Amino acid sequence: MLTDLYRKLGVAFALLLLGASGARGQVATPIDAFVGYSYFHANAPPGECGCFNMNGGTGEFSALLVHGISGLVDFGGYYQGNVDKTGRTLRVETFLFGPRYSNHHWRRVTPFGEAMFGGSLGSGTLYGANATTSGSASGFSLAAGGGLDWNVKERISIRVFQADYVMTRMPNFFDNNQNNLRINFGVVFHFGPGH
């Protein structure tokens, strides 16, 4: 199941790049690749909050479509080994697609905003019948937010911060909605012309 999601992600990214290339004529398209650490403040168990923290990583690819607007593919994985002090484990993976607007008005910094949608996969003993059996669930997810990149060199930027509201819809025996906060830090690599 997870392999199918990664395969679909690769196909979607390839289509994004082909579309971006066609939109700009036959000129090479600027592409950005991000890799970084993710802090994920999750609200997965049933009840009023049941909030807990997860750690993980996020990777992104974006291709410039038109001035300032890029197509974005974002995938992340987050883990907690003791959910809400119950001894249960949880791994959440998100697969998101959508537009990003980046303001390139300033030379040293680039603020951006984004809106994405896609899917999420939860697995671990939190979804099992008890604390020793694993299970899994999947559902729709969306994210919206923004951040700031510090342009260190022509081909490298530091993502000073990226903060996204991430909504996931996976079973939690209450309302099947989770309202999460994701904060990313990391490095952006720039490829192609215009960088």
**For residue range 100-153, what is the model confidence (pLDDT) as tens digits?**
999 988 889 999 999 999 999 999 988 877 778 899 999 999 999 999 999 999
> What residues pair up with 136 in beta bridges, in sequence order?
123
SS3 (DSSP) at 89: coil
* Residue-range domains of the chain with CATH: 2-22+29-191 (2.40.160.20)
Range in 6-15, 135-144, 158-167 with the lowest mean pLDDT: 6-15
Check residue 99 and give left, alpha or beta (phi > 0: left; psi -120 to 50: alpha): beta
Whether residue 15 has pLDDT greater than 70:
no
For residue 54, report the phi and psi dihedrals to the nearest 5 degrees: -130, 155
Rounded Cα–Cα distance for residues 106 and 97 (Å): 26
Q: State both tokens at 194.
A: 């215009």
Q: For 176, left (φ over 0), alpha (ψ -120 to 50), or beta?
A: left
pLDDT value at position 4?
60
The tokens for 167 are 């909504």
Answering whether pTM is above 0.85, one says: no
Can you give the length of the chain in residues? Answer: 195
